[in-house]
Amino acid sequence: ARGLQDSDVITSPTWFIQNQGPCKGLLVFIIFFLWHLTKVILLAPICIPGILLWQPIAFICRRRAEAARISAVRGSSVKIHGRDTVASKKVVEGLKLLPIFYLLYVILALTFSIVFEVTTKKWVIAVFAILVALVFPIYAYASLRIFDVVFRSVGLISGVIRYLGTERKSLPEQRSKLRADIISFVQEHLGEMPGMEEQLVLPDIAKPQLATLV
């Protein structure tokens, strides 16, 4: 009744512009936008290499999980989509592939240091290999967590941009449109739903019609 919008919720950044005055609201909005943009700029270069290193493992897990899902669905009369098979197969394959790829990345790092003659001291190369073996699993996990933060910030920024660039409808208007769409859908497909009667599905619409017939 008050013409509220989704953005009128106090947790929304656009709420400040509409309810805290143009100066204060715009200032908070700019700070919000710059804060998330700064997180994207600073954190994306940190997590992107780790995400790229994860891609071979993710690709192999997806392929093997999909093959296992197809086999499970074909051989079972109970499974419909086989999502449980996909989840369990990804876990199993991931546990098998992680140590292999960790070792592979250590070998690649050592090969790089030797070929490009980063150092000629064997003890430095040995320490470097140990550090890579210890640090890489931590970095690989951290890159996933940092990517979640970056992805969330990108979503908030894009949401704000879409909000500013689109025409917004109040919640009562949205509800009215949704109600009209539901009524239209039910009346159009009522004959396709056995055992359903219009006065049961849409009682507030059917009662006036029945009253006119009586």
Nearest Cα residue to 17 out of 27, 9, 5, 6: 27
Per-residue pLDDT of the chain (214 residues), as tens digits, is 345 555 555 555 555 555 555 566 667 777 878 888 899 999 999 989 888 888 888 899 999 899 888 888 887 777 777 888 888 988 999 888 888 888 888 888 778 777 777 666 777 777 777 777 788 888 888 998 999 999 888 887 887 776 665 565 666 777 788 888 887 877 777 666 555 555 555 555 554 444 444 4
Let me know if residue 59 belongs to a domain.
Answer: yes
pTM check: above 0.75? no
8 A C-beta contact, residue 80 and residue 86: no
pLDDT of residue 176: 82
Let me know if residue 11 belongs to a domain.
Answer: no
Give the separation between CA 6 and CA 2, rounded to whole angstroms: 12
pLDDT of residue 165: 59
Residue 159's domain comprises 22-167
Let me know if residue 205 belongs to a domain.
Answer: no
Let me know if residue 2 belongs to a domain.
Answer: no
- Signed CA dihedral, 91, 92, 93, 97: sign only: positive
Provide CB contacts within 8 A for 119, sequence distance 6+: 113, 125, 128
Let me know if residue 191 belongs to a domain.
Answer: no
Per the structure, how many domains does the chain have? 1
Give the separation between CA 64 and CA 86, rounded to whole angstroms: 9
Give the separation between CA 163 and CA 156, rounded to whole angstroms: 10
Let me know if residue 213 belongs to a domain.
Answer: no
Let me know if residue 176 belongs to a domain.
Answer: no
Let me know if residue 151 belongs to a domain.
Answer: yes
